[in-house]
């Protein structure tokens, strides 16, 4: 992965193969499909393609499918996990990024099948083993979810 003078990683390197290398998540819990941009130590913009074929739509809710809010938060956390792994150079190590706290979660609009869910997360505070993030999910520029969360870097 190459970087420009501002520390911005080349986006094309963040296809699904690169995401799988950065995150331990696998189907059906992998909720990041692509990284659009990554500013090391600052922010990430990733995308989740929301498909009707996802198992949670079978029960949430039949006849009116809506992506659960907690899965929007999980998708934001996974994007933030990629940001942390790349910033702290943890790829290939035995380290995992775990939730410690979720706060100020607000759900603004429902997310339905057939949309691209934009995931934006940024560092609020970064320490050796604990990181705080702010996250925002949106569809076509309209906010669907906002949240702040704290994660811990730990051995797997």
Q: Which residues are catalytic?
A: 60
- Any idea what DSSP says for residue 3? B
Q: How far apart, in Å, do the first and last CA atoms of the chain sit?
A: 25
Cα 151 to Cα 40, 63, 108, 118, 132, distances in angstroms? 17, 36, 24, 21, 6
Dist CA 126 CA 122 (whole Å): 10
Q: Which of 153, 120, 154, 111 is nearest to 32 (CA)?
A: 120
CB 45 within 8 A of CB 37: yes
C-alpha torsion angle, residues 119, 96, 90, 133 (rounded to 10): 40
Dist CA 144 CA 106 (whole Å): 8
């Amino acid at each position: 992965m190459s970087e420009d003078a501002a520390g911005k990683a080349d986006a094309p390197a963040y296809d699904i193969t690169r995401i799988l290398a950065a995150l331990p998540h696998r189907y059906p819990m992998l909720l990041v499909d692509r990284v659009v941009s990554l500013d090391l130590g600052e922010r990430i913009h990733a995308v989740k393609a929301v498909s009707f074929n996802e198992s949670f739509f079978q029960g949430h809710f039949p006849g009116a499918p809506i992506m659960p809010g907690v899965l929007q938060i999980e998708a934001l956390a996974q994007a933030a996990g990629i940001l942390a792994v790349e910033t702290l150079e943890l790829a290939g190590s035995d380290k995992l990024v775990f939730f410690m706290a979720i706060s100020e979660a607000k759900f603004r609009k429902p997310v339905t099948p057939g949309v691209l869910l934009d995931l934006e997360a940024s560092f609020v505070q970064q320490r050796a083993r604990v990181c705080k993030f702010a996250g925002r999910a949106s569809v076509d520029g309209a906010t669907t979810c906002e949240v702040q969360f704290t994660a811990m870097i730990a051995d797997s």
